[in-house]
Structure 1
Amino acid sequence: MKLDPFYLIVDSAAWIERLVPLGVRLVQLRIKTMDEVGLRAEIRKARALCTHHQCQLIVNDHWRQAMEEGCDFVHLGQEDLQTADLSQIRAAGVRLGLSTHDHAELETAMAAEPDYLALGPIYPTILKKMKWAPQGLERIAEWKRLVAPIPLVAIGGLNPDRLDGVFEAGADSAAVVTDITLHADPEGRTREWIEKTRPWR
């Protein structure tokens, strides 16, 4: 399986509606807290937008809803992995991405036979408080040796200037949240990411 090198992560279908038409091919909808009705409406809208624009949609955490709404990809953190029904996810034909931060988590993730693995944070990140120190480019190279041929996603503190180093170290895809969503010009920054990742497509 090949992942697009530009992996956008947003928290609403409104962001997807705004940025995906610019040429985004891979996007994760990451909604942490929302009531069931609202959540399903967001997933449904995101899926319709992504289908229209030939963009791969990944739903974070909410694997049951993603499955029931016909999405083909979920991403789970380590805590969610403990409670998710992997056999049900697999039986529905839904592909699986998993987060890792250290060797113990990597071992747990590999046992679940994921379709891709994420490693982070590569650099310091403002998105959420992390108990892990920045992993650095050397850890990307190490993880790639351990997980290949499974695609590896780098996340945490990334921006266009850091992408060459991340890909040269072995990452297959680079995930971004705040460098785009907190940017003064999210559309312009998205175009910059698309342009910068084009050689790696």
Structure 2
Amino acid sequence: MTLDRFYPIFDSADWIERLVPLGIKLVQLRIKNAAPEVVDAHILRAKSVCADHGCTLIINDYWQAAIDAGCDYIHLGQEDLDDADMNAIRAAGLRIGISTHDKAELRRALALEPDYVALGPIYPTILKKMKWHQQGVAKLTSWRELCGDTPLIAIGGMSIDRAQGAFDAGADVVAAVTDITLHKCPEDRVRAWIAATR
């Protein structure tokens, strides 16, 4: 399966319902610190709109909820891997993306034969406090060599202006978060992203 080069990440089904119909083909639902019933409701709403628009939906962290909802793709951070039941995830046929920040994490991720590996933050990000400083575009090139055929996603402080540099350095996909959600017109920004990456 080939991943679309534009990978927005949203923290609610509200965003997904609003923006996926514009032509997004790959999207992540990343909800943090919500009650299980809230998570389940957002997953089902997101799954419905993505199915209607031929968009691949990736659920962050909540692998059991993703299995229960019949989703087929999850994203796990390194801390998520500590608690995830990989046997159950594999048995459910879920595809998996994994976050990485250093070579030890990359080795751990690749050992699980993921469907993609993400590296970040490439640039400083305001999204969350991280112990990792910006990785820089050059690190994508070394990750590209280490990842082999595994798709590589660049995340963290990404914008349309920075996307081509990430692609040139070896990224297959660029993930965007606040560049869209904090934009004065998120719809226009999504359209611009799609135009820039296809």
The bucket for the TM-score relative to the shorter chain is over 0.9
Partner-residue secondary structure (3-state), 2:24: coil
Query: Which runs of 5 or more residues in structure 1 are unaligned?
Result: none
AA of the residue aligned to 1:5: R
Q: Indicate the residue corresponding to 1:151 in structure 2.
A: 151
TM-score normalised by the chain length of structure 1: 0.97
Residue 14 of structure 2 corresponds to residue 14 of structure 1 = yes
Deviation at 1:67, TM superposition (A): 0.7
Q: How does 1:1-201 map to 2 (within 5 A)?
A: 1-198=1-198
Partner-residue secondary structure (3-state), 1:171: coil
Partner-residue secondary structure (3-state), 1:71: coil
| Distance of 2:190 and 2:168 partners within structure 1 | 21
Query: Which runs of 5 or more residues in structure 2 are unaligned?
Result: none
Deviation at 1:113, TM superposition (A): 1.3
**55-64 vs 107-116, which moves further:** 107-116
What is the root-mean-square deviation in Å for CA atoms of aligned residues? Answer: 0.7
* Amino-acid identity (%): 60
AA of the residue aligned to 2:41: A
AA of the residue aligned to 2:44: R
Partner-residue secondary structure (3-state), 2:127: coil
Deviation at 1:83, TM superposition (A): 0.8
| Distance of 1:148 and 1:122 partners within structure 2 | 20
Deviation at 1:132, TM superposition (A): 1.2
AA of the residue aligned to 1:54: G
| Distance of 2:41 and 2:161 partners within structure 1 | 36
Deviation at 1:110, TM superposition (A): 1.1
TM-score normalised by the chain length of structure 2: 0.98
AA of the residue aligned to 1:167: F
Deviation at 1:137, TM superposition (A): 1.2
Give the number of aligned pairs: 198
Deviation at 1:151, TM superposition (A): 0.2
Deviation at 1:39, TM superposition (A): 1.0
Partner-residue secondary structure (3-state), 1:57: strand
